[in-house]
Structure 1
C-alpha cells in the first residue's frame, strides 16, 4: 500500500526513469487510493475483518473521508 513507485529493477532503465519522471504526486496518490479499495474488497470477500480494519486505519491517516467511502463500498445505492 505504498504511494511510492517501487520499480527497483526498472529504475536504472530508460523506461523506469521515464515513468518516475512522468508520475505526478496526484497520480501516485490516486493509485494508492485505488489499491486501498482493491485490498479492502479482497479482505471483505475473504471475511478478513482484521485486515479491513487495518485498511480503514490506513485510509483514515490519508484522508478521513476515505473511511466514509470504504464504509459505503459495495453496498447498493439508495434509490
Structure 2
C-alpha cells in the first residue's frame, strides 16, 4: 500500500498523522514522491515491464521533467 494512502487514513483518525502533516514540508513530500516513483521504476525495470516503465516516465514528466532525466540515468554507474 502507498505510504501516502496510509498517511491519509491515519490523518482522519490520529493525532500522530496530524503532527506529521504539520511538520512535513512541500519539498519533503515532493522528495518522498519522487523516491516512490524511482522505486516503482526500478521494480518495473527488474521485471522487464517496459510498458509500466513508460507509464511511470510519462507521469514523472508531468510532475517534473527533470525527474525523467533521473529515471533515464537511473542504472548507470556514477562518473568518477
What does the per-residue CA deviation read over 1:4-36, in whole Å, with 9 as the maximum and x for residues that have no partner?
943243212111111111111110000000001
Superposition TM-score, scaled by structure 2 size? 0.83
Considering Cα pairs closer than 8 Å and 6+ residues apart, tell me whether 1 or 2 has the greater RCO.
Answer: 1
Partner residue in 2 for 1:28: 29
Question: Relative to total residues, which structure has the larger helix share, 1 or 2?
Answer: 2
Superposition TM-score, scaled by structure 1 size? 0.84
| SS of match in other structure, 1:10 | helix
Q: Aligned residues, how many?
A: 77
RMSD: 2.0
For structure 1, list consecutive stretches of 5 or more residues without a partner in the other structure.
none
